[in-house]
Amino acid sequence: MNDVSAQRTELTDKLGVVIDAELLSLALTHRSWAYEHGQVPHNERLEFLGDSVLGQAVTVRLFTSNPGLDEGALAKRRASVVSTVALAEVARGIGLGEYVKLGRGEEQTGGRNKDSILADTMEAVIGATYLSVGPDAATALVLRLIDPLLDDPDRDGASVDPKTTLQELASHIGAAPPVYEVSSTGPDHSRVFAATVTVAEYSAAGTGSSKKQAEMAAALIAWRELSGRT
């Protein structure tokens, strides 16, 4: 078994589902890699499909498991677990970034840890699962990955708006408002932003493809640590 095949087997073992090798390879192919290799297909069509599968699975799970929640509360909880920040967190939990095929520019600017790339690739993997083994297995995969987030309602606000939630936590514990410092690297068309947030003498760092995403990533990490929700 070559290194690529071994990596894919390792990933499918983590996912707990067997995905067609060609579809999995496509799901892991970022457009930056595709453009550098003669405009070969990339994962954005699978991402489109996976987004729909993800949304339906989460919606049905929330609807059936929470008969007492109204439409607004259900929508808020759904948004919290299908957001870019939440999906990137799930992707990091299975080490998805190490398997993504990236172009040189994205590789050099930290693309393997960008929330947007991780979230999009996660959706593409869900889409590949749907095509490989059908809707039931794809739904089961989504729920295995997402259930820890769904089962913790206190994460709702943090996943949707981590900066506001962290500020509220700081106020609750009698700390000064969070302070953010942001830097960036890379060319203008592919910049990577790194943010550090400090609150209650604790600091956390996050990265993203924009200043806002980096600050949100840092805020979510800080909230998780300070609230004890690791």
Catalytic site residues? 51, 123
47 labeled binding residue:
yes
Cβ–Cβ under 8 Å, residues 63 and 139: no
123 labeled binding residue:
yes
224: exposed, middle or buried (C-beta count within 10 Å: 0-12, 13-18, 19+)? Answer: middle
> Whole-angstrom Cα distance, residue 162 to residue 155?
9
20 labeled binding residue:
no
The two tokens of residue 183 are 């830097």
Q: Which residue has the tokens 């983590």?
A: 14
Element (H, E) at 40: none
Q: Which residue has the tokens 């949304």?
A: 55
Considering Cα of 92, then 95, then 96, then 99, what sign does the dihedral take?
A: positive
Q: Identify the DSSP state of 178.
A: P
198 three-class SS = strand
Known binding positions for Mg(2+): 47, 120, 123
Annotated binding site: 47, 120, 123
